[in-house]
Amino acid sequence: MGNKKKHDVQAGLLALRKKMPALENIFDAFGPLVVALEKADDLLLDWDGYVLPEAYAPRFEQGVPLMTDMDLPQFGAKYREVFMLMVDAIAEGLPAISAQVDDIRQVAEVADDFDNLAKFLWFEKEKQLHKLFDKWKVSGQILAFIGTLALKPFMVAMEPKAAAAIASMAWHKGYCPVCGTFPDLALLRKSGDDNAYLKSHGGQRWLHCSCCGHEWRFKRNTCPWCENEDHEKLRYLQAEERQNERVDVCDNCKHYFVTIDTRELTDQPDPRVAPLGLVHLDIKAQEEDYRPIAEMPWNVL
């Protein structure tokens, strides 16, 4: 199973590179990271060092994600292994920061308090993080960036059980019901039912979480960030030659997100890879002073 998934990611990257040669530098920079994240998913297939919070419908349906206030998982030696995969990918894709990444690699290989990085990032302990940066004498910004990336595969590993726990409960927010993160991609899909709340013009909008990979349905014609429903402040931009790809923008909060209309596609996009092929839309939106609802390596660096 793992090898098939890994092959799919690599094949998807290759197909996108052929389809979008103008974005070759993006694939060179971030392709290794996408592949490394998939390797980490495979590494964690049997990991079960966590206890999910109890799914409590009244709290959840008020907009509190399942993992809010979750205890720290037992990462064990796996966190350092995943971290090293991210280090190698960043060093390969972003040679401009390879010296700082190499410093981090050397510290991470020997630090006996390495697990503190995961703990401080998980609980967002800013003061403790800065003390760790100072102690290790490395770039705090790059260390936090890599350390956060290394948490992502653990979130992906927990997502299936979390999704099952909330399957029967209602969710109406634009951030992930599992982990609370905003989406890196929206997918328009053919409608399978007549729920007028979620359906519009014959299609459904599905949001893909930028952290744990969970997908959930969300109202069409509503901004996931600020929940604005004023159609005069919601619009989208697209390139004429690629009518099934667009970037939705909100003039109320000045945020944007990229979207693929899959309704007429025979091959469905892989959400793990597809955002890299939409970077031209990130650029288009940012040129008009919109900000991404989910900051990803390829839309902020």
Q: What is the per-residue pLDDT across 47-62, written as a single tens digit (0 to 9) for each?
A: 999 999 999 999 999 9
Residue 145 has what pLDDT? 96
How, if at all, do strands 255-261 and 183-190 pair? parallel
Residue numbers in the chain where pLDDT is lower than 70: 1-7, 192-202, 301
Residue 193 has what pLDDT? 55
Place of tokens 């966190």: 79
In angstroms, rounded to a whole number, what is the distance separating the alpha carbons of residues 273 and 169?
29
In terms of Cα–Cα distance, which of 7, 6, 13, 49 is closest to 273?
13
Contact yes or no for 259/281 (Cβ under 8 A): no
Place of tokens 């939409």: 278
Place of tokens 């998980």: 122
SS3 255: strand
SS3 290: coil
In terms of Cα–Cα distance, which of 272, 240, 246 is closest to 259?
246
Cα distances (Å, whole numbers) of residue 8 to 5, 12, 13, 15, 45: 5, 6, 9, 10, 17
Round the CA-based radius of gyration of the chain to a whole number and report it.
19
In angstroms, rounded to a whole number, what is the distance separating the alpha carbons of residues 44 and 153?
8
In terms of Cα–Cα distance, which of 226, 277, 221, 218 is closest to 248?
221
Contact yes or no for 174/256 (Cβ under 8 A): no
DSSP state of 125: -
Whether pTM exceeds 0.95: no
Burial class (CB in 10 A: 0-12, 13-18, 19+), 77: exposed
Place of tokens 């592949």: 35
Facing residues of 206 across strands?
187, 217
Q: DSSP for 167-180? A: TTS----SS-TTT-
